[in-house]
């Protein structure tokens, strides 16, 4: 008697993309120490996959396991991978020790992972309406960190009298708080999600074109959503 793998017939097209999202997260983490720019592009590609699986679920229908798979994949792609990416950038600049900046190099990415896992667990257990979510989305945090790096943080760091690593670590620490903050974020309308996905794709494919306009535009759009959407971006109930 032929025995089929037990997942055959239990997962749909959206779940396949979700699993690919997790694989992209691992790949981003794996290459971060050798090529942070490539890792950042892979993080954005994972974010595209994270949006695409929702589109496929709405079109073809979701599965019972889909929501759990989505959160598990996001742990890989938007908890562990961004933390490893930031750690790799900081270690390249400062090295790793148990005091001063070296401690921050380890501590803040570790706290980012902890906050992201907690936020994803709470989302899976409690956020059921699909229109809003409490706390900054892990996908948004990962997108801002990756887009910021690709956009070129050197001039900003120089203006602040600090380094690229310090800017990324500062943002990482801020996201540790924002992911667990009692602030309601609306989910994007389909048309806006499409625009953001297009910017993500262009930032992945052409990060340096036209003076880096695509990752910079993506960063501005993501920051605008981060700051303005809790108050000004309304959805129908």
Is position 77 within any domain?
Answer: yes
The DSSP secondary structure of the chain, one letter per residue, reads -----TTTTT--HHHHHHHHHHHHHHHHHHHTTT-HHHHHHHHHHHHHHHHHHHHHHHHH---TTHHHHHHHHHHIIIIIHHHHHHHHHHHHHH---SSTHHHHHHHHHHHHHHHHHHHHHHHHHH--SSSEEES--HHHHHHHHHHHHHH--HHHHHHTTS-HHHHHHHHHHHHHHHTTSS-EEEPPPHHHHHHHHHHHHHHHH-TTGGGTHHHHHHHHHHHHHHHHHHHH-----
Is position 5 within any domain?
Answer: no
Query: Given this model, what pLDDT does residue 142 score?
Result: 97
Average pLDDT over residues 45-62: 86
Is position 131 within any domain?
Answer: yes
Is position 6 within any domain?
Answer: no
Beta bridge partners of 134: 184
Is position 2 within any domain?
Answer: no
Task: Provide the domain count of the chain.
Answer: 1
CATH for 91: 1.20.120
Q: Is the pLDDT assigned to residue 159 strictly greater than 90?
A: no
Domain that holds residue 107: 13-232
Query: Given this model, what pLDDT does residue 2 score?
Result: 54
Question: Out of 43-52, 76-85, 154-163, 165-174, which region has the weakest mean confidence (pLDDT)?
Answer: 154-163
- Backbone phi, psi, residue 34, to 5°: -90, -35
pLDDT tens digits, 102-145? 677 889 999 999 999 999 988 887 765 566 788 999 999 999 99
Is position 202 within any domain?
Answer: yes
Is position 237 within any domain?
Answer: no
Contact between residue 113 and residue 83 where contact means Cβ atoms under 8 Å apart: yes
- Quote the pTM value: 0.91
């Amino acid at each position: 008697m032929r025995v089929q793998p037990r997942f055959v017939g239990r997962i749909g097209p959206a779940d396949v993309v979700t699993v690919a999202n997790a694989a992209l997260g691992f790949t981003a983490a794996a290459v971060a120490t050798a090529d942070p720019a490539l890792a950042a592009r892979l993080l954005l590609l994972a974010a595209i996959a994270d949006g695409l699986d929702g589109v496929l679920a709405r079109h073809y229908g979701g599965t019972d396991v889909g929501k759990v798979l989505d959160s598990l994949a996001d742990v890989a792609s938007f908890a562990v991978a961004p933390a490893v990416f930031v750690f790799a950038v900081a270690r390249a600049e400062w090295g790793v020790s148990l005091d001063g900046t070296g401690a921050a190099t380890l501590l803040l990415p570790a706290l980012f992972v902890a906050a992201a896992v907690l936020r994803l667990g709470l989302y899976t257990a409690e956020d059921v309406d699909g229109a809003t979510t409490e706390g900054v989305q892990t996908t948004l945090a990962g997108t801002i960190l990756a887009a910021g790096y690709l956009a070129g943080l050197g001039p900003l760091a120089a203006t602040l009298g600090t380094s690229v690593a310090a800017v990324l670590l500062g943002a990482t620490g801020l996201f540790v708080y924002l992911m667990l903050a009692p602030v309601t974020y609306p989910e994007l309308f389909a048309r806006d999600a499409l625009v953001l996905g297009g910017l993500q794709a262009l930032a992945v494919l052409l990060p340096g074109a036209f003076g880096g306009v695509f990752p910079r535009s993506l960063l501005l759009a993501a920051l605008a959503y981060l700051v303005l959407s809790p108050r000004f971006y309304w959805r129908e109930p």
